[in-house]
């Protein structure tokens, strides 16, 4: 298992990490997305260990704000090309960091993080650049994979039947 015991902050992209990268648009123009309650439960448990958790996104959709508010985590917004700058600005005094992303817009932040993690269904360029990847796709346990790996590294006992090795060293080379 990878030793994430020194991680002090985890920053997640939202769409494609908390979600399966799709949204539902209803006739009144309201947008919604599907999220995993297991992701939220693992995230909440991890916060009890003192690890800071936040979202860094370029999305302006209300469901992002609503989900972050429900999970009581900060949501930082920026233009896609500013993710690296914002990541550095937020984490520079916080110690070892994890960034979890899925799109090429996440590459600058992933490169600056102590541990850059790609969601397993990320764009090929992200999978090629990441040192680590989740075993579950976005919206279906990717957040849980990361949270449980860090929680376990910090001495937390993950309930029976939970995959604690949800983060693996990336074996995907050259996009394939």
For residue 51, the enclosing domain spans 7-169
When divided into structural domains, the chain yields a total of 1
Low-confidence ranges of the chain (pLDDT < 70): 1, 157-176
> In CATH, what number is assigned to the domain containing residue 37?
3.40.50.1000
Question: pTM for the full model?
Answer: 0.87
Any domain includes 62: yes
Any domain includes 2: no
- The DSSP result for 50-107, as a single string, is T-EEEEEE----HHHHHHHHHHT--EEE--GGGHHHHHHHHHTTS-EEEEEE-SGGGH
């Amino acid at each position: 298992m990878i030793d994430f015991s020194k991680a002090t902050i985890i920053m997640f992209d939202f769409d494609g990490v908390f979600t399966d990268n799709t949204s539902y648009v209803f006739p009144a123009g309201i947008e919604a997305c599907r999220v995993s309650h297991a992701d939220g439960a693992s995230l909440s448990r991890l916060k009890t260990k003192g690890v800071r958790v936040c979202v860094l996104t370029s999305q302006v959709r209300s469901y992002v704000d609503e989900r972050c508010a429900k999970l009581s985590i900060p949501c930082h917004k920026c233009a896609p090309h500013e993710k690296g700058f914002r990541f550095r600005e937020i984490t520079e005094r916080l110690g070892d960091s994890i960034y979890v992303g899925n799109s090429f817009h996440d590459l600058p932040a992933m490169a600056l993080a102590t541990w850059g993690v790609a969601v397993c269904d990320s764009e090929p360029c992200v999978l090629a650049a990441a040192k680590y990847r989740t075993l579950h796709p976005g919206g279906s346990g990717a957040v849980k994979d990361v949270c449980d790996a860090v929680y376990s590294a910090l001495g937390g006992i993950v309930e029976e039947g939970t995959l604690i090795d949800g983060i693996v060293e990336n074996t995907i080379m050259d996009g394939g």
